[in-house]
Structure 1
Amino acid sequence: MITQAQSQLYTIRDLLRFAVSQFNKSDIFFGHGSATAYDEAAYLILSALHLPLDQLEPFLDARLIDNEREQVLNLIKRRVIEKIPAAYLTNEAWLGDYRFYVDQRVIVPRSFIAELLQTQLAPWIIDPDNIYSALDLCTGSGCLAILLAHSFNNAIIDASDISADALEVARKNVTDYDLAEKIHLIQSDLLNQLPKRRYDLIISNPPYVNAESMARLPEEYRHEPRHALASGEDGLDAIRTILQQATDYLTEEGLLIVEIGHNRSALEQIFPRVPFTWLETNAGDEFVFLLKRDQIP
């Protein structure tokens, strides 16, 4: 079908229609940025043609040269057949207005904490200028560390990850944003290899997928590093370690903010006396918790 399309599709409108049809009749999964076949198709086409991602309409009837058409059709083919997330095909992902380089050494950036950083964690942080040190634990591509740097001007930030490969990707993003003097990258298995220092703020989007869910993940997630997703039988292995050690790394008034996926009920059963504050996001208040240092068990 895609070979046949090479000689019969002429405009961006033609390719958009073709891509949406191919995506809708396939079993691809949308969970890495786009929510629909139309959005995914528009993104891939505009990206392949180096056009503004928010300006599809003016170009719909533009005719493509052979090389451009071949590039677009190759992306569509790989998305359908190989089930590769679009972010890996284009080597970019977005959190709000921020663009990040990504490849299969890191998971595709997606985090409710990014949404919360847009308001500088108000009302929990009253004066952002009083945040002088912060840690992004399990930084992956470095995306949240970079958002931290833009949210808290006075903060020196450590960004850690167990994966040396992930830190190479993070280094590229930190360099692209000219933040090498503000963000320090550290290889560490959670908190275990970090230098002994205390932070006003620790954020983390750690692995939190349980064994049952890992076994049922769509194929798109198989392209992501397994160690960045899986966290034991109940999905809480990493979070247990964070809670056990976080007080040693927080200042007296320090805050811990952790994203935990769909594990709220399981976490509250394990720690019934811990007064978790669940932060409101656009998807509800079940995915990110906040604890003050003196609330951590």
Structure 2
Amino acid sequence: MSVDVPSIAALSEYGKQQLLSLSDSAQLDSNILICHVINKDLSYLLTWPEKKLSLSEYEKFIELLNRRIKGEPIAYIVGTKEFWSLPLLVSPATLIPRPDTETLVELVLELYQSQQALHCLDLGTGTGAIALALASENPSWHFDAVDFSSEAVSLAKLNSQQLNLTNVQVFQSDWYSNVAEDKKYDLIVSNPPYIDEQDEHLAQGDVRFEPKSALVADEQGLKDIKIIIENAKQHLKTNGALFIEHGFAQGELVCDILTGFGYQNAQTVTDLNGQDRISWAIYSNY
């Protein structure tokens, strides 16, 4: 029996209706899945709404739509996610880069954009999002980007190669374990695990599918943050800066930890939604 494949416009609407109760971006989700299946960009859907998919493309769309209906993140389904206008490959081995993390990139650029040849360390790099975004804006800066997960390291390396960012070196390290003891940096940045293992949000939305090792930390989500702050002192140049992403209710706590370990001028910056998101401080090393 032949199947009457609907037009792109009709299929887009069908996908949207299926996802309305599950996603706050149902229309976009549906369109992204269509684009992925037919290997076209979003503008093609607007230009050719009356065109029809082949039967195999239609069947693939339905398969992917069903995965999205079950809650799987769009980024994992299509294997890519844009961050800082960079197309990044993603996989279930890494967190999905989020717009809130661009707050960290913006802050570093605001403070240091005019400086040349800075040496930077990105701890827990995942897809490489933070390091690659900053490296794309500052060709003279050099980045070491590390992650405990060998799968994440492979993915970040591939992203740096595809973006042709030769000023980023990616390697495996459990925080500072494989960073040379005498290596000093002007800047250290990190988006570490910071969610308490009892947090109810772990059972909601995209995070259900993301690696718990990249999300959850002991001590009410602060254990890895404390490790990063304490050990950064050994690897920061005099007046070097440490930038850490954290949960919306952790700003004051992280600033207290920074101050407790001898950092100066600890302060917190809010994200796109006005929530505390990035805390940073200077280490004078005197």
TM-score computed with the length of structure 2 as normaliser: 0.88
Structure 1 partner of 2:45? 56
Whether the aligned pair in 1 keeps the contact of 2:20 and 2:26 (CA below 8 Å) is: yes
- Deviations, residues 4-23 of structure 1 (Å, cap 9, x unaligned): xx935411111111111111
Structure (1 or 2) with the greater strand fraction: 2
How far off is 1:228 after superposition?
Answer: 0.5
Q: 1:199 aligns with which of 142, 166, 185?
A: 185
Alignment of 1:70-109 (within 5 A): 70-81=59-70, 83-109=71-97
Q: Distance in 1 between matches of 2:202 and 2:107?
A: 35
SS at 2:239 equivalent:
strand
Structure 2 partner of 1:155? 141
Alignment of 1:1-297 (within 5 A): 7-25=3-21, 28=22, 30=23, 35-81=24-70, 83-110=71-98, 112-118=100-106, 121-122=109-110, 124-125=111-112, 127-129=114-116, 131-179=117-165, 181-196=166-181, 197-213=183-199, 216-218=202-204, 220-262=206-248, 263-268=250-255, 275-284=265-274, 286-294=276-284
How far off is 1:157 after superposition?
Answer: 0.9
- Deviations, residues 235-255 of structure 1 (Å, cap 9, x unaligned): 111111111111111111211
User: How many residues are paired up?
Assistant: 280
Whether the aligned pair in 1 keeps the contact of 2:5 and 2:55 (CA below 8 Å) is: no
Could you tell me which runs of 5 or more consecutive residues in structure 2 were left unpaired when the two chains were aligned.
none
How far off is 1:216 after superposition?
Answer: 4.2
Percent of residue pairs bearing the same amino acid type:
25
- Deviations, residues 20-77 of structure 1 (Å, cap 9, x unaligned): 111124xx3x5xxxx4211211222222221113553212221222122112111101
Whether the aligned pair in 2 keeps the contact of 1:95 and 1:109 (CA below 8 Å) is: yes
Could you tell me which runs of 5 or more consecutive residues in structure 1 were left unpaired when the two chains were aligned.
1-5
- Deviations, residues 193-228 of structure 1 (Å, cap 9, x unaligned): 311211111111111111221674226323211101
How far off is 1:279 after superposition?
Answer: 2.3
Q: Which amino acid aligns with 2:105?
A: L
RMSD in angstroms over aligned alpha carbons? 2.5
How far off is 1:119 after superposition?
Answer: 7.1
Q: Distance in 1 between matches of 2:278 and 2:103?
A: 11
Q: Distance in 2 between matches of 1:255 and 1:64?
A: 52
Q: Which amino acid aligns with 2:60?
A: Q
Whether the aligned pair in 1 keeps the contact of 2:269 and 2:276 (CA below 8 Å) is: yes
Whether the aligned pair in 2 keeps the contact of 1:120 and 1:128 (CA below 8 Å) is: no
Whether the aligned pair in 2 keeps the contact of 1:214 and 1:230 (CA below 8 Å) is: no
